Amino acid sequence: MKILVVNGPNLNLLGEREPNIYGNETLGSINAEITAEAEKTGCSVEFFQSNSEGAIIDKLHEARLTSDGVILNAGAYTHYSYAIRDAIAAIKIPVIEVHLSNIDGRDEFRKISVIAPVCRGRIMGFGKYGYILALKSLGMLLGDKN
């Protein structure tokens, strides 16, 4: 199983960005934990982070040919990017929406996810563990033995 993990805008600043909301860990250390978890089941994981909408869309298009599933934290694009929503709808592989924080318990504008209707499911509010839960979900959905 080949999984692509995509992180959107400002998630490169994890560790220093609003640690009371997003925690103290860097994206690099979270990715290392995801890799360690993936290795247990022989799953391969690719990581991509961009602050640009177009780059995220290009990566999702590429994933339809190279990956079995996508774990996506689209950051603030979650709330208004119809272009990312359309890219998810255009590809046939499952995309799991992940958020570190519980977006339903924060600002009003964060309660809207324009990507939710086209994602396979959503995991939020569990911090970095959301990525691990998404990985396990994809394993179960895609029929991994472990």
Which residues here bind ligand DQA, judged by CB under 6 A? 10, 73, 75-76, 78, 99-101, 103, 110
CB of 109 to ligand DQA, least distance (A): 8
CB of 80 to ligand DQA, least distance (A): 10
Task: Decide whether 21 or 40 has the Cβ nearer to ligand DQA.
Answer: 21
Say how far apart CA 30 and CA 129 lie, in whole Å.
9
Residues 6+ apart with CB under 8 A from 34: 5, 45, 47, 131, 132, 135
Task: Decide whether 1 or 77 has the Cβ nearer to ligand DQA.
Answer: 77
CB of 46 to ligand DQA, least distance (A): 19
Task: Decide whether 63 or 72 has the Cβ nearer to ligand DQA.
Answer: 72
Say how far apart CA 34 and CA 139 lie, in whole Å.
13
Q: DSSP for 21-81? A: HH-S--HHHHHHHHHHHHHHTT-EEEEEE-S-HHHHHHHHHHHHHH-SEEEEE-GGGGGT-
Q: Any idea which residues carry the catalytic annotation? A: 22, 99
CB of 42 to ligand DQA, least distance (A): 28
How many alpha carbons fall within 13 Å on the CB side of residue 110? 14
Task: Decide whether 76 or 89 has the Cβ nearer to ligand DQA.
Answer: 76
